[in-house]
Structure 1
Amino acid sequence: MPKTAETVLEINLNHLEHNYRYLKGKLKPETKFLGVVKAFAYGSDSIKIAQKLEKLGVDYFAVAYVKEGVQLRNAGIKTPILVLHPQAINFTELIECCLEPSIYSPKILMEFLEVAKELRQKEYPVHIKFNTGLNRLGFWENDIDYIKKKLEGRDEIIVTSIFSHLAASEDLNEKDFTLKQISNFRKITQEFDEKINPKPFKHLLNTSGIINYSEAQFDMVRSGIGLYGFGNNVKIDAVLKPVASLNTIISQIHKIEPGETVGYNRAFTSEGYQITATLPLGHADGIGRQYGNGKTYVSVNGQKAPIIGNVCMDMIMIDVTNIDCQEGDEVVVFGGNPSAEEFASTSKTISYELLTSISQRVKRVFIES
């Protein structure tokens, strides 16, 4: 009997614990660990993941937006939560839920100071982000004097940490650029400590940074994709364990004759007598049209079955001509073989995009010993 009778995203919390302990093992005992749980914890379930990591002793969480942090607070998460990309319209709710904002520009700094003043805050914790080369968000190195000036005589906020983000830590061909980012961040931290008190803690490394540049771990590291089982490195991927596995079933099997077509726009034409199987998931579930027409395969009873024709909104057709299977059999879309990284690579994308695309209408099932 198959393990599942419908499309499910299986989330293995034992694997999450394994990945967390592996990454922690690369750090000094005193280095703090931030778990990134934005985007529904990389497409899985942010509440369940955060609850597990909180039990394991994670020091911080990070989300992208205030709404994500509010959801965690409403679920009872007590650990500090850094909001990486807050918008001014949400500052009041952010403060009410004891979330900690990344302050990344002069505009955001002044707007947060005013809201903090209106709400009569004293030494509310904030995190100052500096741009060291990613050129996405962050103050420049020469903004330190500006920040100092704006904070003088104000007690509404306190700078808890300063941080930056590496642009290419997974690519050793870009080692010189990464080392330059690390050097720039060191200069920023030194100048900041000289000019602004009290001294905040510092963090720079992401998952690939932990693996490739652990000497730059500063006071805390941040891990997202590594927690979910991917290290942007074949050797590391072999050690980490994927947390999410997308499984489904065969809804119906068709025997088609030579010259018959399958799916919308008649995108697949049979060259002979073939057997196809229809699966109950599609691009509305996060498996986009780019995976169709023979580019990608799924696993049926341990054998590769290519996706044929165009991916539909709620259905995918696969070729099972040479596979012994029947209606109701389980199908592994990704998680084991293929892995999410392998599946994504067939359409020249990455595991991050595939994982975070899995629709919330897909049932989540949790495994924990």
Structure 2
Amino acid sequence: MPKAQETVLEIDLKALKHNFEYLKSKTQKDTKILAVVKAFAYGSHADIIANYLQGLDVDYFAVAYVSEGVALRNAGIVTPILVLHPQAINFKMLIERCLEPSLYNAKILNEFITVASEEGQTNYPIHIKFNTGLNRLGFEKNDVDDIISKLKGTNSVITKSIFSHLAASEDLSEKEFTSHQIQNFENITKEFSKKIGYQPLFHICNTSGILNYPEAHLDIVRTGIGLYGFGNSEKENKNLKPIAKLKSVISQIHRVEKGQSVGYNRAYKSNAFVKTATIPIGHADGIGRQYGNGKGYVIINDKPAYIIGNVCMDMIMVDITTIDCNEGDEVIVFGNHPHSASEFSKTTQTISYEILTAISQRVKRVLLR
């Protein structure tokens, strides 16, 4: 593998295939796989990831917004795409590009039925989301009769699936809460199917749901973070491979004498002689200021080099006093376990999702096949 000569995000498709096949092996035989590729496929490259997974016969994709679905269609994706949080202003575009909306309250359901009717649609696939405890988006159980009444009053749409979202499936101390969510959802699906007269697809499991609640796999499971190499637990992280490695290079090495400062606001003042390396990556690239002042670190020649002072827009400075390295040497910001995005993010009490999705689009993506 070539050494980095600039800041790059390497994307490993072999690791992606491994993760997909591992998660598929954990699902029930007839359960469909929905791949979540929102937020540029968790900060990697949505077009590349979706096309590769389409080649592996993934059953569904999900994105957050209509614009993300349009971008996938433009990239040649023909697999069904669920839009998890569509806005009414984009409904005509959604229909034009054969995207499928998640409808989560009476207002959005009424608006979509109106637009679908105006556009001359018949049995356009929609997905009805129910809130079972996350309290973010979704109809409530007592909304079933109103939903059924509206759906039976039109032939413009048809319910493709009913789904909900688990709030704490990765936390086994919340097993009672999660089991209650699953039971609540099963009660909703039974009532809905009986009253609508046919049975849509049902899904509630995310990545941690796939791994921890096999009894709830139902017709579809949704996986996002798992595809990208993280299982939300130390145990499952060992079974998955991070697909993204953020790498950079040492631009310059400085000798900082006692009493001198480093970076903006003189946030670091040396109590003794130190050597620092300046690296071309900063908060405009996704490495936020919260990682500065000795919290975050990078790996240089297999050793941790902690960030000194404030993170700049385009650069960080790290302490290399005890590291044998030179200008031009490669720097690993995050990559495989144990130096993964998950470990990097822990230094500021956040999660892998945040650091992965924060990586700027100006960072060059390099594809590893």
2:86 maps to which residue?
A: 86
Runs of 4+ with >4 A deviation: none
Please, what TM-score do these two structures have when normalized by structure 2?
0.99
1:350 maps to which residue?
A: 351
Q: Match for 2:30: what amino acid?
A: E
Per-residue deviation, 1:153 = 3.1
Q: Does 1:138 align with 2:143?
A: no
Per-residue deviation, 1:197 = 2.8
Per-residue deviation, 1:273 = 1.4
Contact 2:152–2:196 under 8 Å retained in 1 = no
1:8 maps to which residue?
A: 8
Cα deviations by residue, 1:294-330 (Å, 9 ceiling, x for unpaired): 0111100111100110000000000001111111100
Q: Match of 2:136, SS? A: coil
Please, what TM-score do these two structures have when normalized by structure 1?
0.99
Contact 1:2–1:329 under 8 Å retained in 2 = no
1:162 maps to which residue?
A: 162
Cα deviations by residue, 1:329-357 (Å, 9 ceiling, x for unpaired): 00000013521001101101000001000
Instruction: Give the Cα–Cα distance (whole angstroms) in 2 for the partners of residues 13 and 26 of structure 1.
Output: 20
2:243 maps to which residue?
A: 243
Instruction: Give the Cα–Cα distance (whole angstroms) in 2 for the partners of residues 78 and 18 of structure 1.
Output: 23
Per-residue deviation, 1:86 = 0.2
Contact 2:130–2:139 under 8 Å retained in 1 = yes
Instruction: Give the Cα–Cα distance (whole angstroms) in 1 for the partners of residues 28 and 237 of structure 2.
Output: 22
Per-residue deviation, 1:2 = 5.9
Cα deviations by residue, 1:7-60 (Å, 9 ceiling, x for unpaired): 000110110000000000011221000000000000000010001110011000
Equivalent positions of 1:1-369 (< 5 A) are 3-336=3-336, 337-368=338-369
Per-residue deviation, 1:87 = 0.2
Per-residue deviation, 1:229 = 0.3
Q: Match of 1:151, SS? A: helix
Instruction: Give the Cα–Cα distance (whole angstroms) in 2 for the partners of residues 279 and 130 of structure 1.
Output: 47
Instruction: Give the Cα–Cα distance (whole angstroms) in 2 for the partners of residues 48 and 141 of structure 1.
Output: 39
Indicate how the Cα distance of structure 1 residues 2 and 218 shifts in structure 2: closer, same or farther if over 3 A, else same: closer
Q: Match of 1:239, SS? A: coil
Contact 2:285–2:363 under 8 Å retained in 1 = yes
Structure 2: unaligned runs, 5 residues or longer: none
Q: Match for 1:294: what amino acid?
A: G
Query: Aligned-pair RMSD on alpha carbons?
Result: 0.9
Q: Match of 1:360, SS? A: coil
Q: Match for 1:223: what amino acid?
A: T
Structure 1: unaligned runs, 5 residues or longer: none
Cα deviations by residue, 1:235-274 (Å, 9 ceiling, x for unpaired): 1001100011100000000011111100001111112111
Q: Match for 1:354: what amino acid?
A: I
Q: Match of 1:307, SS? A: strand
Contact 1:10–1:245 under 8 Å retained in 2 = yes
